[in-house]
Amino acid sequence: MTDRDRLFVYGTLRAGASHDAARRLFEHVRGAMAATVPGRLFDLGAYPGLVVDATASTRVHGELLELDDPDPLWTILDRYEGCGADDPHPHEFVRTTTQVQVDGGRCVEAAVYVFALPTSGRPVIASGDWTRR
């Protein structure tokens, strides 16, 4: 399994979401587990934005998804996150790879959509958990 077979989700793509992108994502999920990444979570209104920071003392909570045949999915998710090839620049989110810690302390590499714009003046979600904001 590679980082292209894993996706860390922390907001509107978490389990239970009812929009089309989430439904299509979960058609490709073969496993999910609670996970965290070091960083800060910002409240952007209708959705959150993650800024990964390996030196942060805070963690962002979400789910690590193990994906089955993810290649056709990336175009759909990139478009949903506004960072597809046809989306205007600058992108609000970018897909990158980061270290994700699963329950029990094991770390793995996974894809994640991170917030790519300035965070000045944006409220931080202190719990690091979009579902408990």
Q: Which fold has domain 3-121?
A: Hypothetical upf0131 protein ytfp (3.10.490)
CB atoms within 10 A of CB 69: 10
- Residue 49's DSSP bridge partners are 42
Q: Where are the domains positioned within the chain?
A: 3-121
Burial tier of 30 (Cβ tally within 10 Å: 0-12, 13-18, 19+): exposed
pLDDT tens track, the chain, 133 positions:
566 799 999 999 999 888 889 999 999 999 999 999 999 999 999 999 999 999 999 999 999 999 998 888 999 999 999 999 899 999 999 999 999 999 888 999 999 999 999 999 999 999 999 998 7
**pTM for the model:** 0.94
Give the span between the Cα atoms of 27 and 92, in whole angstroms. Answer: 26
